[in-house]
Structure formats: structure tokens, C-alpha cells
């Protein structure tokens, strides 16, 4: 049943600029798979960068594959560029940025007629590679499905890996794996004796990262995206980004201006991407020069400290009417525990700066269920938000503050990886406590699903036994997940909620 996807793909290709179409003759064909929808995948700068990087190699052709979660296994996944099925490719490279995308790996393989487990595949099937931040920090839940896992940044691993794949794609699979396991940053399940050492790019300027394929058919379709930095110096203890992309590295202003000049040919608005963009040591100079070039600016993350008035002014002048800030915790005690190196004065000053610029809508991000949290810490969130609302009310006749609440999820590879996630009952209680304090002031509180956050925690800290669970989820639902966990004889409480005092993955 491929006609629907082919038609949809052609419609999408017609709406794209920058698609790379290469002749396959004599080249290694690589399917780059983002196991989620086209709309989400095309906003992912990592996918865009790897797609361009691989296609720059003369003897390799790389095509994109997406998976619409509404699709069932009777829809054959096809590559965007050639509309070929995945079994035509020598290599299938999955990029995994979110734990919940793990659920889409199994249906992609099933729909393509590819055996799930690496041990059941020989060289007549494509070689399956996994990469991305989730794989870098803990490849184990998916490891039984993959022939090899990339630990670290693609640009640091692929230059050595691609020639080995090109030479050995059709040779005996075990022999190829023996060669792959000797490469830096490559973990080969069942072959490697020890974890691979994470690889990272020393000089980001050698590998510009910006939008490659532009389309309006995606979340950030009105922007040309440019990566400003990688990693983050602030070291919040729950944060995957800061720990997975160490050390922090900034691109030079000169390289960023070059990329911007090209981007402005396609879009008036530039999206400056990075975990803490305003930390760039020359951010004000960059913002000023981009302004002079006529760019409208959007910044993926505005930090509470430092919050440059110049950058804030540029973002607002470009038409933004909502600013988002992330205090994460309400009390100083808890902010100190999680390593968020800001105080209440910093937060209120930042809110004052935003309100003074005429912004009417403020989004605030907080976490609940943090280690050592009590009900008093929730009351501190309410108090802090009320102070923010008072500041806004002094400046505007009308203003809106929205809170987005995420439960703390212990992530592998972070300083908090051994902390337990709070129980769902505690989280529900704290959420309703917070809502009861704030709704009276007209402040709306949205929250991420507590139940799916628990699933994330299990997958983030899980081991290879989770592969059987993923293989047994036929149609994604919490009921199916719980049934599959039970069938595998695993304990959600252990993986998600218990505080571990030994190293990761030892039950």
C-alpha cells in the first residue's frame, strides 16, 4: 500500500528548496531515518546537517525517511528523494533525539520486512546504525536491534566510518562489524567489549550547521536555522544537553555571518539555535551585524542570566510577542540542588526587562518532582510566579503568563541519572496544588503527561531487556506499554522511580 505515501512524498518534495538528488550509480546508498513525522523531523537541525554532510561525500548518496506515527505497518516506508523502500539501501541510519521515538523503530522495520534483531540479519539486509543524544548516553534499550551505535557527534565519527561501510557493505556481516568496532565512537552490540568513547568535534567552524532543505511544511518553516553553539556551560544536573555535548563550543561570528548571508537569500527570519544562545561571547556584536544585514531574529533559548537587552530588543523588533524563560524551580534551595545558578533577583530582573520591552505574554518553564522537593517548593513556584505577574501588571494593561510544567525525568548520562523520578501520585498532588494556587490569578498551567514522562524515564535508564518490550508494543498506548512490560517481567518502579546507589543498568 505505497500509493498514499508516494503521493504525499511528491507533494512535499514539490514544496521543498534545497533537496539533494544524487544518482545512485556506484555509490553507497544511506537512508537517514528520523523516526517521527516529516513536520517534526524537518525542524531538526541535526538531521539537516547530517543529510548535507553525508551527501557531500562523492561516493555516498543519502536520502531522508520519516515515519508518521499514524501510519501502521501496512504502509511501506519510502525514502523521500527516490521513493525507494528501505531494503534497497545498504545502510539505514536512525537519528534518535527522544526516548518516545524508540517506539517507532519497530514498526519501521516491520513495515519494511526487515528482521528486528541484528542477530537475525546478515549482509543481505541493510546495516542498521543508531545515533543521536539518546544513543550517546545509553544505547542499551535499542542495542539488540542495531548493528552498531554511534557514541557522540556525527561529524566526528562519519569521516572514518563511511569508507569502511563503502568497502564492506556487502561483505560478511560479522567481518564488517569487527572492522566497525575498532573505529572511534562506534559501539557494536555483541562485539564491543567495552563502551565506546564519546567523540566530539573540536572546531565547529569546520562543520557549518544550518538549514539544508527549506519547506513551509514544518514547525519552523518561516526561518533559516543556524547552529550558534554546541553544549552548555551552566551544568544543570538534570540536563541531557549539557552533559551529552560537552565541552561547550561556540562558532566564530565570521562563520555565522557567512551562513546568515546565504540563509537570507531564502528567508528573512534567522533562527539562532543552541541550548544557551545568549552565552555566545560575541552575541551582541552578532545580533547587531545581523540587524544591519536586514535579518529578523529568533533565538531558540533566552537565558535568564545573562539576558542581553540588545538581543532581547532585536528579537522583539522582529515581531516576537511571547518570551519564554526557564527558572525550573521556585525555591533557592531547590535551584541550588539542581545546579541552576540563578537567584530570585536574577529571575525578577529578567522578567522586568521583558515586561519593560512591551511583551505581553510570558511563558515560564518549571519542573516538579525534583530530588528533595517538598510541597513548600511548589508553594515557592506559586509565589515566584505571582511576583512575575505583578511585574507584568505594572507594565501592561493586559498580559498573560503561562506555566509549562515538566516532571523531572532522570536521564542517563546526567549527574542526576541515579535519582528516582517522583511517584505519579506525588506528581499529581503537586500539580493540583500548583494549579489551585495560580488559576485564581488567571495564570494558566499546562503540563507534560506524567504517565509518558514515566515511560521516558524507563527508556532512558533501561537496559537491553527493554528491546523485547518495544518489540511487543503493537500499537502505541499506555495500556500496551504496561502489558509489554509485564510480559517481559520488568519492573517500572526499578527503572523509573528507585534511587540507584550503584552504576547505571545494574539491577
List residues near ligand SF4 by CB under 6 A.
Answer: 232, 234-236, 239, 241-242, 275-276
Grid cell locating 166: 563503502
Asked if residue 142 lies in contact with residue 470, where contact means CB atoms within 8 angstroms, the answer is yes
Task: Tell me the torsion sign for CA atoms 334, 338, 340, 341.
Answer: positive
Q: What is the DSSP letter of 221?
A: T
Query: Of 302, 258, 313, which is closest to residue 280 (Cα–Cα)?
Result: 302
Q: Kindly state the smallest distance separating residue 218's Cβ from ligand SF4, in Å.
A: 23
Is the alpha carbon torsion for 487, 491, 493, 496 positive or negative? negative
CB 136 to ligand SF4: min, Å:
15
Residue 201, all three cell numbers: 568535534
Kindly tell me which of 60 and 236 has the beta carbon lying closer to ligand SF4.
Answer: 236
Nearest of 278, 371, 279 to residue 329 by alpha carbon: 371
Name which of 235 and 423 has its Cβ closer to ligand SF4.
235
| Min dist. Cβ of residue 356 to ligand SF4 (A) | 23
Q: Please give the Cα distance from 135 to 456 (Å, whole number).
A: 14
CB of 340 vs ligand SF4, minimal distance in Å: 7
- Give the Cα separation of 5 and 16 in Å (integer): 16
| Least Cβ distance, residue 14 to ligand SF4 (angstroms) | 37
* Smaller CB separation from ligand SF4, 189 or 231: 231
Instruction: In whole angstroms, give the CA distance from residue 178 to residue 155.
Output: 22
CB of 275 to ligand SF4, least distance (A): 3
Nearer Cβ to ligand SF4, position 24 or 234? 234
Q: Is the Cβ of residue 392 or residue 416 nearer to ligand SF4 in the bound state?
A: 416
Q: Given 3-state DSSP classes, what are the helix, strand and coil percentages for the chain, each rounded to the nearest 5?
A: 40, 15, 40
Q: Which one, 151 or 326, has the nearer CB to ligand SF4?
A: 326
Considering the complex, state which of residue 50 and residue 239 has its C-beta at the smaller distance from ligand SF4: 239
Helices (H), 326-449: 332-338, 344-356, 375-395, 424-438
The minimum distance between CB 413 and ligand SF4, in angstroms, equals 13
Q: Which of 183, 107, 196 is nearest to 145 (CA)?
A: 107
Amino acid at each position: 500500500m505505497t500509493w498514499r505515501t508516494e503521493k504525499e512524498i511528491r507533494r512535499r518534495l514539490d514544496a521543498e528548496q534545497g533537496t539533494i538528488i544524487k544518482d545512485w550509480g556506484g555509490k553507497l546508498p544511506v537512508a537517514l531515518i528520523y523516526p517521527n513525522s516529516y513536520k517534526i523531523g524537518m525542524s531538526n537541525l541535526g538531521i539537516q546537517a547530517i543529510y548535507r554532510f553525508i551527501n557531500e561525500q562523492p561516493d555516498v548518496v543519502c536520502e531522508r525517511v520519516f515515519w508518521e506515527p499514524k501510519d501502521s505497518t501496512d504502509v511501506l516506508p519510502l525514502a523521500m528523494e527516490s521513493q525507494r523502500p528501505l531494503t534497497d539501501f545498504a545502510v539505514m541510519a536512525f537519528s534518535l533525539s527522544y526516548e518516545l521515538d524508540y517506539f517507532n523503530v519497530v514498526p519501521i522495520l516491520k513495515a519494511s520486512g526487515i528482521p528486528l534483531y541484528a542477530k537475525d540479519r546478515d549482509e543481505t539486509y541493510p546495516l542498521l546504525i543508531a545515533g543521536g543524544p539518546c544513543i550517546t548516553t545509553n544505547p542499551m534499550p535499542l542495542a539488540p536491534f542495531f548493528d552498531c551505535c554511534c557514541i557522540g557527534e556525527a561529524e566526528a565519527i562519519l569521516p572514518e566510518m563511511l569508507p569502511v561501510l563503502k568497502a564492506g557493505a556487502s561483505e560478511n556481516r560479522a567481518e564488517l562489524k569487527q572492522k566497525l568496532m575498532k573505529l572511534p565512537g562506534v559501539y557494536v552490540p555483541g562485539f564491543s567489549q567495552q563502551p565506546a568513547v564519546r567523540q566530539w568535534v573540536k572546531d565547529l567552524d569546520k562543520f557549518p550547521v544550518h538549514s539544508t532543505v527549506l519547506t513551509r511544511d514544518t514547525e519552523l518553516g518561516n526561518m533559516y536555522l543556524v547552529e550558534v553553539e554546541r553544549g552548555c556551560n551552566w551544568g544543570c544536573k538534570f540536563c541531557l544537553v549539557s552533559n551529552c555535548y560537552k565541552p561547550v563550543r561556540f562558532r566564530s561570528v565570521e562563520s555565522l555571518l557567512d551562513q546568515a548571508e546565504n540563509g537570507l537569500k531564502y528567508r528573512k527570519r534567522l533562527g539562532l539555535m543552541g541550548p544557551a544562545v545568549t552565552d555566545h561571547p560575541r552575541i551582541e556584536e552578532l545580533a547587531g551585524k545581523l540587524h544591519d544585514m536586514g535579518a529578523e531574529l529568533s533565538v531558540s533559548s533566552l537565558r535568564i542570566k545573562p539576558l542581553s537587552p540588545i538581543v532581547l530588543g532585536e528579537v522583539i523588533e522582529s515581531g516576537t510577542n511571547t518570551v519564554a524563560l526557564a527558572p525550573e524551580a521556585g525555591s533557592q534551595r531547590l535551584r541550588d540542588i539542581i545546579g541552576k545558578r540563578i537567584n530570585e533577583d536574577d529571575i525578577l530582573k529578567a522578567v522586568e526587562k521583558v515586561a519593560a520591552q512591551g511583551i505581553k505574554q510570558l511563558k515560564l518553564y518549571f519542573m516538579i518532582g525534583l530530588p528533595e522537593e517538598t510541597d513548600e517548593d511548589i508553594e515557592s513556584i506559586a509565589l515566584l510566579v505571582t511576583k512575575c505577574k505583578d511585574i507584568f501588571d505594572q507594565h501592561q494593561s493586559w498580559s498573560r503568563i503561562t506555566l509549562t510544567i515538566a516532571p523531572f525525568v532522570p536521564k542517563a548520562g546526567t549527574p542526576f541519572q541515579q535519582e528516582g523520578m517522583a511517584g505519579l501520585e506525588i506528581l499529581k498532588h503537586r500539580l493540583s496544588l500548583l494549579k489551585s494556587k495560580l488559576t485564581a490569578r488567571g495564570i494558566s498551567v499546562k503540563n507534560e503527561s506524567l504517565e509518558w514522562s514515566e515511560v521516558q524515564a524507563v527508556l532512558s535508564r533501561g537496559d537491553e531487556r527493554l528491546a523485547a518490550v518495544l518489540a511487543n508494543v503493537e500499537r502505541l498506548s499506555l495500556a500496551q506499554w504496561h502489558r509489554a512490560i509485564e510480559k517481559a517481567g520488568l519492573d517500572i518502579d526499578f527503572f523509573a522511580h528507585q534511587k540507584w546507589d550503584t552504576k547505571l543498568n545494574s539491577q
